[in-house]
């Protein structure tokens, strides 16, 4: 009768995930104390991502779930990526205009102020 419920995950796995999550937290906290330059950002976000995936897949049972659930979970993230991506298409190219041939066609330049016609 419980076919439609997710299978019972052994307590051992929950325990293991808990320990791994706490270790990752410790690692993350430790890395923040060191100055790794740009790698601080990369490492921190990577660890957060791993922690999220562990929780999604095991604690939230996505791993044991139907393809439909996978689609629904993915949808939220895909939409988020679309929103961030297309917004950044604006922010990363602010003030840039098309250049001439031979140069990178997007380059930083200041936009000249508009020229107004003299009032009659």
Partner 1 sequence: MNATLPQTETLEIPKPPKRLLTYFEDGGRTVGSWLLTTDHKRIGILYLYSIVAFFTIGAIAAAIMRLELITPAGDLVTSDTYNKLFTIHGTVMVWFFLIPSIPSVLGNFVVPLMLGARDLAFPRLNLLSWYLFNLGGLLALYAIAIGGVDTGWTFYTPYSSTFTNTHVVTMVAGVFMAGFSSILTGLNFIVTTHKMRAPGLTWFRLPLFLWSNYATSVILVMATPVLAMTLVLLSIERIWGVGVFDPQLGGDPVLFQHLFWFYSHPAVYIMILPGMGVVSELVTCFARKPIFGYHFVAFASMAIALIGFFVWGHHMFTSGASVYSGLVFSITSYLVAVPSAIKVFNWTMTLHRGRIFLNTPMLYALGFIGLFTVGGLTGLFLAALALDVHVTDTYFVVAHFHYIMVGGMVTGFLGGLHYWWPKITGRLYPESLGRLAALIIFIGFNLTFFPQYVMGYLGMVRRYHAYAPEFQIYHVMSSAGASILGVGYLLPLIYLIWSLKHGKKAPANPWNATGLEWQTPSPPPKHNFAQTPIVTRPPYQYSAETEEHMVYG
Partner 2 sequence: MANSHEAVAEQFDDMPQQIEASTLGMWTFLATEILFFGALFLAYIVYRHTYAQAFALAGRHTLILYGTINTALLLTSSFTMSLAIHSAQEGKNKPLLGFLLLTIFLGCGFLLVKGLEYHEDVHEHLFPGAHFTRELPAPGQIFWVLYWVMTGVHSIHLAAGIGLLAVIVWMAWRRRFSSYYHNPVLISGLYWHFVDVIWVWLYALLYLINRH
- What are the residues binding partner 2 (CB under 8 A)? 1-6, 8-9, 11, 14-15, 17-18, 21-22, 25, 28-29, 31-33, 35-37, 40-41, 44-45, 47-48, 51-52, 55-56, 59-61, 68-69, 72-73, 75-77, 79-80, 83-84, 87-88, 91-92
Task: Verify binding: residue 13, partner 1, rule CB under 8 A.
Answer: no
85 CB-contact burial (10 Å; exposed 0-12 / middle 13-18 / buried 19+): exposed
How far the first Cα of the chain sits from its last, in Å, is 85
Residues 6+ apart with CB under 8 A from 40: 31, 32, 34
What are the beta bridge partners of residue 36? none
From 89, 19, 5, select the one nearest 54 (Cα to Cα): 19
Span of 10-18, 30-38, 46-54, 82-90 interacting with partner 1 by CB under 8 A: 82-90
Q: Where are the alpha helices (DSSP H) in the chain?
A: 11-33, 39-54, 67-91
Q: Is 75 an interacting residue with respect to partner 1 (CB under 8 A)?
A: yes
Binders of partner 1 in range 30-69 (CB under 8 A): 68
- Is 86 among the residues that bind partner 1 (CB under 8 A)? yes
Q: List residues binding partner 1 (CB under 8 A).
A: 68, 75-76, 79, 82-83, 86-87, 89-91, 93-98, 106
């Amino acid at each position: 009768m419980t076919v439609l419920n997710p299978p019972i995950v052994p307590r051992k796995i929950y325990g293991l995930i808990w320990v791994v999550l706490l270790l990752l937290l410790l690692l993350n906290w430790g890395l923040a104390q060191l100055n790794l330059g740009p790698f601080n950002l990369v490492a921190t976000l990577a660890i957060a991502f791993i922690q999220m995936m562990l929780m999604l897949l095991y604690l939230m049972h996505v791993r044991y779930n139907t393809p439909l659930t996978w689609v629904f979970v993915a949808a939220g993230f895909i939409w988020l990526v679309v929103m961030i991506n297309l917004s950044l298409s604006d922010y990363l190219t602010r003030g840039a205009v098309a250049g001439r041939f031979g140069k990178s066609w997007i380059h930083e330049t200041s936009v000249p102020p508009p020229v107004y016609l003299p009032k009659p």
